[in-house]
């Protein structure tokens, strides 16, 4: 069995679960479409209610996301495939999605770049976020809009970008000044 056949077989296995366990479909639909908004809110809350460390964590995540998205666009230029529902028969498509290049999965890039960035700085909370990232990646297959290779590539890009950000971002002096300025502004409000 070649890579393409394995990718399709794994997709079929996961997507067929949505036919066998319909009671789970609303959960996976929510994860696939709307959880990204909650992640955005979590980033904002971490910035505005957090410490200097939280702000650096948010800056790491933002930097990782930008790098991962750029990497994703470049990867999509070298490898391209349409969504499973556009290429295969009998796909259980649970959400509306336009047909375009599905490699790599943008949702998976977003979740892994941000959640892995958080995990690098806060293991306990970050572990929960990584579980969420895996569930979102799985949900994109479950609802019929991505192949397993799409989400695996998105996860890898997100993780590698988070590692790069973790090493590089804290060294930028303007990042330190920005997070310190926000912290000082918060302190001045409390007095």
Question: What is the tens place of the pLDDT at every residue in 129-145?
Answer: 999 999 999 999 999 99
Per the domain annotation, does 6 fall within a domain?
Answer: no
pLDDT at 133: 96
List CB contacts of 18: < 8 A, sequence separation 6 or more: 24, 25, 28, 92, 94, 142, 143, 144
Say how far apart CA 54 and CA 148 lie, in whole Å.
32
**Is 81 domain-assigned?**
yes
Report whether the peptide linkage leading into residue 137 is cis, meaning its omega lies within 30 degrees of zero: no
By the 10 Å C-beta count (0-12 exposed, 13-18 middle, 19+ buried), 144 is classed as buried
Residue 86 placed within a domain: yes
pLDDT one-digit tens code per residue, 144-163: 999 999 999 999 999 999 99
CA distance 56 to 167: 12
Whether 185 shows a pLDDT value over 60: the answer reads: no
pLDDT, greater one: 175 or 9:
9
The CA–CA distances, whole Å, from 62 to 112, 132, 164, 167 equal 12, 18, 12, 14
Q: What ranges in the chain are assigned the alpha helix state H?
A: 3-20, 25-33, 35-49, 52-78, 84-87, 106-121, 123-142, 148-168, 173-190
* Higher pLDDT, residue 29 or 88: 29
3-state secondary structure of 101: strand
Question: What residue numbers bound the domain in which 33 lies?
Answer: 18-183
pTM score of the predicted model: 0.84
Q: Does 106 reside within a domain? A: yes
Whether pLDDT at 181 is above 70: no
Find all residues with CB under 8 Å of 39, minimum gap 6, and list them. Answer: 110, 111, 114, 115
Is the pLDDT confidence value at 52 over 80?
A: no
Residue 189 lies in a domain: no
Alpha-carbon distance of 45 to 175, in angstroms, equals 18
Q: Is the predicted pLDDT of residue 165 greater than 80, yes or no?
A: yes
What is the pLDDT averaged over residues 101-128?
A: 92
Which of 13-27, 97-111, 175-189 bottoms out in mean pLDDT, i.e. has the lowest?
Answer: 175-189
Task: Determine the Cα–Cα distance for residues 20 and 53; give it in Å rounded to an integer.
Answer: 45
For the chain, how many structural domains are there in total? 1
Among 39-43, 86-90, 135-139, 152-156, the minimum mean pLDDT is found in 86-90
């Amino acid at each position: 069995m070649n890579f393409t056949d394995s990718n399709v077989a794994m997709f079929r296995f996961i997507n067929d679960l949505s036919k066998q366990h319909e009671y789970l479909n609303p959960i996976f639909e929510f994860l696939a479409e709307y959880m990204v908004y909650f992640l955005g809110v979590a980033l904002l809350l971490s910035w505005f209610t957090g410490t200097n460390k939280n702000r650096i964590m948010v800056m790491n995540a933002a930097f990782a996301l930008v790098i991962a998205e750029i990497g994703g666009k470049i990867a999509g230029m070298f490898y391209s495939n349409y969504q499973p529902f556009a290429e295969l028969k009998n796909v259980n498509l649970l959400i509306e999605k336009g047909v375009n290049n599905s490699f790599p999965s943008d949702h998976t890039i977003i979740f892994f770049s941000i959640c892995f960035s958080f995990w690098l700085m806060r293991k306990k909370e970050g572990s929960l976020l990584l579980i969420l990232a895996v569930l979102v990646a799985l949900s994109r297959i479950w609802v019929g809009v991505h192949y397993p290779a799409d989400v695996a590539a998105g996860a890898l890009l997100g993780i590698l970008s988070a590692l790069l950000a973790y090493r590089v971002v804290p060294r930028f002096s303007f990042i330190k000044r920005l997070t310190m300025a926000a912290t000082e502004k918060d302190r001045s409000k409390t007095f």
